[in-house]
Chains A and B, each alone.
Chain A
Amino acid sequence: MRLTFHIWRQPNRTSSGKMVRYESSNFNPDMSMLEALDVLNEELILRNEDPITFEHDCREGICGSCGFMINGLAHGPLPKTTVCQLTLRHFRDGEELFLEPWRAKAFPVLRDLMVDRSAFDRIISSGGYISVPAGSACDGNDILVPKPYSDRAMDAAACIGCGACVAACPNASASLFTGAKVSHLGLLPQGQPERNQRALRMVAQMNAEGFGQCTNIGECEAVCPKGIRLEVISRMNGDFIKASWSNRGQQSVSDGV
């Protein structure tokens, strides 16, 4: 199978980058997109050209390491599929593909297709947890969780933190990512004590990182490899507004609004 790639090459964070054209016939429809890049990289190394840097690890669609734009679509054309699980059988022989890194102010490019997503860690660090030190838990079955709530919490918790939602959003908003964590924890009885603070702090951090605002376009939901639903953003907004009201006078949340 022959493919032509146009791939964003950028040596480091500060240099400027450009698209470079590569062509090879050594592909096979059963390969994943990342295996195609492996094949291309082996060819490049043998030609003394720097291989393409791209992030990847588990190659099973669960670690969230991989991800780039293929012809303008985050993770490519197949719904609910990360690039590591996207096989070439979904492309035509001879097709031209344009691969670019996630583009967002809060995700600076580190090299080629690799970006810095540490902003996501800082959002989680700002309240995306339940404060329960090891050893202080009650028996697991002392906390009953109705199945529908548990299922919906799991739906939201399935987020892999890949960043496709941000890349697909015209505003580069991280609302789907942040909303997923706010919803996962807010749907569970264990998450209630810190629910208000969590929404306030996580939203504030999201804004501080330079992500844009959500304007309900829905591109994020369309590209999410784990099918996280737009409703998590409504839940986050609801929690945020309720928390802002109940928190009036206690502390300034202006940086979060």
Chain B
Amino acid sequence: MELLTEIEPQIAAGTLTLDSRTPSGPIEKAWDKTKFEMKLVNPANKRKYTVIVVGSGLAGGSAAATMAELGYNVKCFCFQDSPRRAHSIAAQGGINAAKNYQNDGDSVYRLFYDTVKGGDFRAREANVYRLAQISVNIIDQCVAQGVPFAREYGGTLSNRSFGGAQVSRTFYARGQTGQQLLLGAYQALERQVDQGRVTMFPRHEMLDLVVIDGKARGIITRDLVTGAIESHVADAVVLGTGGYGNVYFLSTNAKGSNCTAIWRAYKRGAAFGNPCFTQIHPTCIPVSGDYQSKLTLMSESLRNDGRIWVPLNKGDKRKPGEIPESERDYYLERRYPSFGNLVPRDVASRNAKAVCDEGRGVGESGLGVYLDFGDAIKRLGQKTIEERYGNLFEMYARITDENPYKVPMRIYPAIHYTMGGLWVDYQLQSTIPGLFVIGEANFSDHGANRLGASALMQGLSDGYFVIPYTIGNYLASNKLEKVESTHEEFRAAQDGVAEKTRRLLDTKGTRTVDSFHRELGKIMWDDCGMSRTAAGLQDAIGRIRKLREEYWRDVKVLGSGKEINQSLEKAGRVADFFELGELMCIDALHRAESCGGHFREEYQTPDGEAKRDDDNFSYVAAWQYNGDGSPLLNKEPLTFDYVHPSQRSYK
């Protein structure tokens, strides 16, 4: 393992040409210009094309529905029993849009600016601008579908503010915005199922991508009920399979969320962008025991009315109500007077960790800070607070057995979102022609840190308003030979999947899949989590490799592959998490700077903020699979013609 101590010089340059296809000219016109220049598919010909969409969340569901509306023949796959279960459903707080309905100075440009700055200058400007432009159409579309957004008494749409912004541009449906937006997309999707233009494949998991003559031509799936391994042919493949936060075992992701689809695509040649950019959400319910299976998020919108504090003095174990005002430290309000409790997520999370590391954390474990609604209840009354956050308060009470109307909530940061993902160009195409990646699954528009209420916006923007255009351009510009599922590439891929399944079942070791997953998660959280060091990352890479080797020698998966077998499903996903975890550490190690959610302890300003190195790291790291050798590094340089990089300041 001596190579680990000097990994950086070992990184070899990749062989990919990363053409971002960013249009030239003024950014305001870029998307219009692209749309005009793209080739179109004649309406009568659209039904002759088959498009596979993997994933049925906000991105996948809206993409599948919209492409079917246009006339394409769509096959949509999800591992859940119904497309309505996709994890987008759990998003709580809201969706941003530059509507300026509040007349408070918002604009497309301001949303663009906030997102580029919030992302700590590691996103592609043109993509972010387009996202901000499209944001307004998303709200219109969702309202028309019947999404019951919060309203004012006059019947107009209501807004609230969110972290990282000084305007109120967040639309919401109580604390269930993701659910309502997803149901809108799901209903649009079911309408297309009704019309026979979408064939739904629930309880199917994508286990490989098939590339023929350099183009994505289909996928291999496992039917999770019968265990059948099947080939599906298409003219293009769209992945909307979400993020990979579950590499940490404990995260706010749903238990089934996994990286398998994007990881198999990576191994087939799709570059992986910025894998180490993960988001730690500041407001989650703290861990309570080692049996814990997941972490529960409390919407960031709570920071609108809740005040975050810890005791001023170390080791103060009094009950929160017994600590007088003068002995409380409202550390965010103190350090960031202009943004206060509404600083971006990465800043809020790091500060929580810092005060806990100082020994001022609260709760039994000492890993928690108070989120206090006392003042807000006094100011607005309990009824208003109940209306705004009722379901969140109920959820908190159910889990912790404490009443947040009476005692402050305890919160602690947790893994929540992954900004990294498969690299895509402006048209959302990966480095494999015909393979498109949308939503959280791509390396996305959020740079090194995503602002609250922007994930829903990006998923729906990609699905409703970007991919329906760019897929047509691809299909119209490429001559695609007819391919059958009996093609040798499909057969080989199918055999590969069957072999891997067999290997997992035949290992018959002594440790369960979950025990390995927990151990991997702990390594990742300790060394590739909220703060990172070169030494820790090097050590983590070594331990992951060792653990992965043990996994393939000692994992215990019962049952067969010919039936419903949840352990087998998990086993395949965890096998991929091992490989992705290692790549995340390599990426985090190579990026010798701090930016957004990627905080390297070696690189910080005197007052503890992330210190970027724009001279050396203003690029997207697009990793290329290299067989059993070390991954190769390709760089897409980032230029900022509009929002000029500066040290982010929320003071």
B34 beta carbon closer than 8 Å to chain A = no
A145 to B535, CA, bound (A): 58
Please indicate the chain B residues that have their CB under 8 angstroms from the CB of A191 in the complex: 146
Q: Is the beta-carbon distance between B394 and A138 smaller than 8 angstroms? A: no
Tell me if A18 is interfacial: C-beta within 8 Å of chain B: no
Stretch at the interface among A60-68, A167-175, A214-222, A239-247: A60-68
Q: Looking at the complex, which of B186-194, B335-343, B544-552 is the stretch in contact with chain A?
A: B186-194
Residues of A within 8 A of B293 (CB): 32, 34-35, 38, 59
Q: How far is the CA of A160 from the CA of B82 in the complex (A)?
A: 11
Taken together as a complex, chains A and B put the C-alpha atoms of A141 and B142 apart, in Å, by 12
B6-37 interface (Cβ within 8 A of A)? none
A42-B514 CB under 8 A given contacts A130-B187, A134-B141: yes
- Decide: B154 and A144 in contact? CB cutoff 8 A: yes
Cβ-based interface call for B244 (8 A): no
Q: Is B143 an interface residue (CB 8 A)?
A: yes
Chain A interface, >50% SS class:
loop
- Interchain nearest-CB distance for B415 vs A (Å): 15
Of A35, A38, A78, A137, which one neighbours B143 at CB under 8 angstroms?
A: A137
Structural contact, A65 and B145, CB atoms closer than 8 A: no
A145 CB contacts on chain B under 8 angstroms: 151, 155
B559 interface hit (Cβ, 8 Å) = yes
By the criterion CB–CB under 8 Å, are A11 and B563 in contact? yes
A180 vs chain B, min Cβ distance (A): 11
Which single member of B173, B191, B514 contacts A125 (CB below 8 Å)? Answer: B191
Which of A69-77, A81-89, A91-99, A249-257 faces chain B? A81-89
For A, the interface residue count at a CB cutoff of 8 angstroms equals 79
Most chain B beta carbons < 10 A, residue from A12, A56, A116, A134 = A134
Q: In whole angstroms, how far apart are the Cα atoms of A191 and B394 in the complex?
A: 31
- Judge whether A230 is part of the interface by a CB distance below 8 angstroms: no
List the one stretch of B176-184, B346-354, B584-592 in contact with chain A.
Answer: B176-184
> Nearest chain B CB to A120's CB is how many angstroms away?
7
Chain A contacts of B482 at CB under 8 A? none
For A58, give its contact among B187, B254, B566 (CB under 8 Å).
Answer: B254
Given A114-B564, A138-B140, A158-B176, decide whether A146 and B191 contact each other with a Cβ distance below 8 A.
Answer: no
Let me know if A130 and B180 touch, CB within 8 A: no
- Is B144 at the interface (CB under 8 A from chain A)? yes
Q: A50-B559, A51-B567, A87-B399 are in contact. Are A130 and B144 (CB under 8 A)?
A: yes
**Considering the chains assembled together, what is the distance between the CA atoms of A190 and B193 in angstroms?**
21
Q: How far is B143's CA from A188's CA once the two chains are assembled, in angstroms?
A: 10
Complexed CA–CA distance, A237 and B516 (Å): 53
Q: How far is the CA of A50 from the CA of B563 in the complex (A)?
A: 12
Per-residue interface assignment for chain A, residues 95 to 106, with 1 indicating a CB less than 8 Å from any chain B CB and 0 otherwise: 000000000000
Residue from the list A62, A120, A128 in contact with B176, Cβ < 8 A: A62
Mask of B363-406 contacts with A, CB within 8 angstroms, 1/0:
00000000000000000000000000000001100110100000
Q: Are B395 and A126 in contact (CB under 8 A)?
A: no
Chain B residues 237 to 279 lying within 8 A of chain A, measured CB to CB, are 254-256
Contacting pair B140 A53 (CB below 8 A): no
A contacts, CB < 8 Å to B: 11-12, 28, 30-32, 34-35, 38-39, 42, 45-46, 48-51, 53, 55-65, 78, 80-81, 85, 87, 89, 110-111, 114, 116-118, 120-121, 124-141, 143-147, 150-151, 153-154, 157-158, 160-161, 184-185, 188, 190-191
Given A35-B291, A49-B558, A63-B89, 17 other A-B residues pairs in contact with their CB atoms under 8 A: A30-B289, A46-B512, A57-B87, A60-B90, A60-B297, A65-B85, A132-B144, A133-B66, A134-B465, A137-B143, A139-B140, A140-B140, A143-B144, A146-B151, A146-B155, A157-B180, A188-B146
Q: Which 3 A-B pairs have the closest CB atoms?
A: A144-B155, A129-B187, A137-B144
Give the interface of B toward A (CB within 8 A). 62, 65-66, 69, 80-85, 87, 89-90, 99, 101, 137, 139-146, 148-157, 173-174, 176, 179-180, 183, 186-188, 190-191, 193-194, 200, 202, 225, 254-256, 288-289, 291-294, 296-297, 394-395, 398-399, 401, 464-465, 468, 510, 512, 514-515, 556, 558-559, 563-564, 566-567
Selected A-B contacts with CB under 8 Å, 5 pairs: A39-B291, A50-B559, A64-B84, A125-B190, A190-B144
